[in-house]
Structure 1
Amino acid sequence: MIKTTTHKNIYANITAIGGYVPEHKRTNEDLAKVTDTNDEWIIKRTGIKERRILEKGLATSDMAVRAIENLIANYDKKISDIDAIIVATSTPDMPMPATANIICEKLGINHVWGFDVNAACSGFLYALDLGASLVESQRYKNVVVVGADKISAYVNIKDRSTNILFGDGAGVVWLEPSKETGVIDALMQSNGQGKEFLNIEGGGSLYPTTDLEQNDEKRYIKQDGKVVFKQAIQSMSEACLNVLDRNGLTIDDVNWLVPHQANKRIIDAVGKQINIQEDKTLVNIANYGNTIAATIPLCIWENTDKIKKGDLVLLTAFGAGFSWGASILRWSI
């Protein structure tokens, strides 16, 4: 049963944000050289013009560190003040240790609670809710929430159904306690019914790496686009309306919608379903594609000049599993 939220004594407030995308671009023209596709077809179906690809020899943690360093460089924050790091990723550096642990080592910090969250494209929202809960408990004062994925490592460059969609990147927010404003509420859900329609089968305990020699296809991300398309629109739209309703808010109260950047047609359809003005939806999918857990923080990071202090921001995402959710927060930067 979903419980209606009550007044909070302490809010988890976003006080800083950072981002990083690799320099190397994979354009639609690049993909046309290796698969039967073209720029016009890709843009019409996805809205994507190019995506960023991290170079070999670097991993998800490297992008996360760059994003955190970007945050530190632009806000009055100290790495030594971090109490906890939560990393939303489907592409950890390695199965163990957690990528959050590796980030701590690269940042030179000790005695920090660091752990990973894997909820695919919903990962950042899941991690943000967890981070907010830590701050609201008043046991942690400075919580860093990262969304980062090197999904290109799992893309079959010759698979037209996926190679056009995905790119690499990292986004990060810094949470601190506030008595006035911050994350208001979040609605996170999952059901496991979609695991066959969007997945990376290989590399886990079911199909360990030794099995991939016999079945190479299991190492790559696979998607049934039609099923995911329909379910994403329905789930994100319902989550948005439900989280607003249980807080006594309507779509007219929302200043900005920041949806997961999976496909421009999905983004547009969700906007129509919840009846929000098109110019209130923030989009950056054209230049980066689907960066999995990084899409929402990267989209906010790129649009901080638009979002004003006091604006009500609605976030929503949908990912493998299926997993989905929506969050509402009051912006204060």
Structure 2
Amino acid sequence: MSKALILGTGSCLPQKTLTNAELEQIVDTSDQWITSRTGIKTRRISGEGEENFRLATLAGQRALEMAGLSPLALDMIIVATLSPHKIMPSTACFVQAELGATNAFAYDINAACTGFTYGLDLASKYIQSQPEMKVLVIGSETLSTRVDWKDRNTCVLFGDGAGAAVLGGSEDGRGVLGSKLHSDGRLWNLLHMDGPESQNPELQGSDWEGALIRMNGSDIFKQAVRAMDDVVVELLEQQQLTIEDIDLVIPHQANIRILNKLQQRLNIPDDKLFINVDKYGNTSAASIPIALDEANKQGRVKENDLVLLCTFGAGLTWASLLMRW
């Protein structure tokens, strides 16, 4: 059976860097407080001309260049985002237009931080049934447009950016080997964001405070560690593998304490765990593809390596995905 193989990766980060010291001038916090609790030192913030779809397009272009493909070769574009350029049309349609990928159909998905992994799983299913397809999967966020800059518990965490991967069919055993996806909508209130205020008076919520990210940090921490641990174990058991068989683990870059706890529970050696949360913060759906592109360009992954992705986000959603590079 044909598998979906990553042919190229790309990423795009805004020019502006926001440091912890600069955040001290915005909200009641300190570099020491942020670093000790999150591991984040800097994050990127979009400026003029760096809208979500523009970041996504540049990441996609770079992935196509690495793959040696023209935008016209694409059959499908998926953009995972919770901070779309517009409610409609989809950010993916803007990307399609910017790329000139006129042969592709395009749509967005929203699984929050888990979105890119969900997107890879979708692309894999399409390619299994139609091996000739070429699919561009992008995770792209401008979370600076959705952050409450008066809330020190959330505004210090998030950053902007985009990452992308181009996938095509492979018959040599490399590609996506398996995945596990989960959701639990009963816990939506632990991490959520309202939409624009309703223009229907009968559907206006009394607790509407703007389209801003709201989070119960302590409960999210507990859920994230447990869920990612469980979903990695579940996938490894399905594939009859152990963590020792994996060459590189790329987790969602949410918070260094979550990553350290996950590493401890799964016994992941330092040299097999990719971490860049200190530079970019939590970029939600863009987190894993940015890390994947960095790992690829740094030579951290080689042909036939086993690469494991694991992630957790609002919904609640969580997932793991295993590929042979």
TM over 0.5, shorter chain: yes
Within 5 Å, give how 1:58-69 maps onto structure 2.
58-69=50-61
Q: Of 42, 52, 65, which aligns to 1:50?
A: 42
1:200 and 2:225 correspond = no
Distance in 2, Cα, partners of 1:69 & 1:128: 18
Q: Shift in Å at residue 215 of structure 1?
A: 6.5
Q: Shift in Å at residue 203 of structure 1?
A: 2.2
Matching residue of 1:317: 311
TM-superposition CA deviations, 1:137-162 (whole Å, max 9, x none): 11652001101111110001121011
Amino acid at match of 2:180: L
Distance in 1, Cα, partners of 2:159 & 2:200: 25
Distance in 2, Cα, partners of 1:168 & 1:59: 10
TM-score if structure 1 supplies the norm length? Answer: 0.92
TM-superposition CA deviations, 1:158-199 (whole Å, max 9, x none): 210111100000000010100121000000000102211101
TM-score if structure 2 supplies the norm length? Answer: 0.94
Q: Of 284, 288, 293, which aligns to 2:276?
A: 284
Amino acid at match of 1:195: W
Matched-pair contact (CA < 8 Å) for 1:134–1:140: no
Matching residue of 1:13: 5
Distance in 2, Cα, partners of 1:217 & 1:24: 28
Within 5 Å, give how 1:256-275 maps onto structure 2.
256-275=248-267
Matching residue of 2:27: 35
Q: Shift in Å at residue 109 of structure 1?
A: 2.4
SS at 1:195's partner residue? helix
Q: Shift in Å at residue 107 of structure 1?
A: 1.2
1:235 and 2:237 correspond = no
SS at 2:157's partner residue? coil
1:86 and 2:92 correspond = no
Amino acid at match of 2:139: G
SS at 2:188's partner residue? coil
Matching residue of 1:187: 180
Q: Shift in Å at residue 205 of structure 1?
A: 6.4
Distance in 2, Cα, partners of 1:88 & 1:17: 15
1:326 and 2:320 correspond = yes
Distance in 1, Cα, partners of 2:321 & 2:199: 33
Matched-pair contact (CA < 8 Å) for 2:245–2:306: yes
Q: Of 295, 298, 301, which aligns to 1:307?
A: 301
Matching residue of 2:125: 133
Further displaced range: 64-73 or 197-206: 197-206
Distance in 2, Cα, partners of 1:204 & 1:74: 42
Distance in 1, Cα, partners of 2:68 & 2:47: 31
Shift of the 57–16 alpha-carbon distance from structure 1 to 2, 3 Å rule, reads closer
Distance in 2, Cα, partners of 1:317 & 1:329: 15
Amino acid at match of 2:210: K
Cα RMSD (Å) of the superposition?
1.9
SS at 1:196's partner residue? helix
Amino acid at match of 2:185: G
TM-superposition CA deviations, 1:89-114 (whole Å, max 9, x none): 11111111111111111112223111
Distance in 1, Cα, partners of 2:253 & 2:39: 10
Distance in 2, Cα, partners of 1:207 & 1:263: 38
Runs of 4 or more above 6 Å deviation:
204-208
Matched-pair contact (CA < 8 Å) for 1:12–1:178: yes
TM-superposition CA deviations, 1:56-84 (whole Å, max 9, x none): 45421110011112223434121110110
1:117 and 2:106 correspond = no
Q: Unaligned stretches of 5+ in structure 2?
A: none
Matched-pair contact (CA < 8 Å) for 2:96–2:104: yes
Matched-pair contact (CA < 8 Å) for 1:83–1:140: no
Within 5 Å, give how 1:70-85 maps onto structure 2.
70-85=62-77
